[in-house]
Structures are given as structure tokens and as C-alpha cells.
Amino acid sequence: MLQKILDDESEPVEGEEHLAALTAGDRVPWAKARLQYFAKGVNKSSLDAIEKAAFCLTLEDEAQDYDPNDHTALDRFGSALLHGKGYDRWFDKSFSLVVFSNGRIGFNAEHSWADAPIIAHLWEHAITDDIVSIGYDDVSVCHPKYRSIKLTISTFFKSVCDMHNCHMVEYIQSVYTSHYTLIM
């Protein structure tokens, strides 16, 4: 399934690229956009598909890695998971799985006091259970189904998305992330 998504060469609708920036900032503009642009038609059904999904999968076109000799590599990795480019994360999901181009993986999760520990425990369980209990066969083949969503984006709505992308860029520039490794 992932290979099919990676091989998909269809172009996004003009304005679609910055759509997710609406989910990143102030809730009022996103609520207004939902009422105005997602109340009917293909946009409504596409938003329904996103909202009914258990989580979002983000396939990054950049690589991230950990380098014990370069603390800034972990800072970049953490920042990529926290906010990405600001327009490439759907922040209205409890969590998004983020897969980088080099196969490294992480997640962006709702960070409230109750949600964050749950997803962290789920992550730990999934990683260990997958290896210990489920295992892999010799060819590791899986064929789940997916469907591509479609959107109709007017010129004005594109400008709304672009404006919120600019706000998200400002948010990102105001966030300082520094990650430390505890060596015992």
C-alpha cells in the first residue's frame, strides 16, 4: 500500500498544500473555514474521511536521524515531529505517524496531560509487541486498502490557507526546541 501511495504521481489541487496549516493555529478561523468550505460536496466527504481515520500518516520527503555527536540533529528531529513545516501536519488528530524518507519514524501527538501519556504507552507497546508477539514472515508483505481524498479549493480559500500557513511559519519561528540525551 505504501508503495502505491509513493508511486502516485497525481498533483494536488492548487491551494491544497497549505490546507493543514488551518488546523495548527487559532481555532476560530479553522471553524469558520469548516463551515464555509467543508459543509458540502467533495470537501465534506474528504474531511469526513480524515476525521473518521484513526490517525494521519505523514510521509516526509526529508530524512531525520539521531547522531550522538551532533545534538542539533536531535533538535531537528524533534522539531520535525513537533510541527514539521506547519502545513504538513494535520493537528486535529489525536496523533499522526510521521515516516521520514530514510525510514526513521516518530509521531506527533495531542499534548494534553491525558492524551500524551496514552500515546506514549501505545507507541512503546506497538514497538515491542510488533517485534515480540507478531513478528515478520520472510517477505513482510501486507496489502491494506487506502483511498486518496479529493478537494475543491477556490482561489479565495487558497489565500485563506496560505495566510494561515504564514501564521504557522511565525509560530514555528517562535518555538525553541532543544533535546538532550541523558547518559548514565
- Reduced to 3 states (helix: H, G, I; strand: E, B; else coil), residue 92 is coil
**Of 76, 64, 152, nearest to 102 (Cα)?**
64
**Of 65, 148, 51, nearest to 106 (Cα)?**
65
- Selected catalytic residue, list 18, 71, 83, 111: 111
Pairing mode of beta strands 56-59, 95-99: parallel
Rg (CA), the chain: 18
Q: At CA 161, angle to CA 159 and CA 162, rounded to 5?
A: 60
Q: Is 164 a catalytic residue?
A: no
Active site members:
111
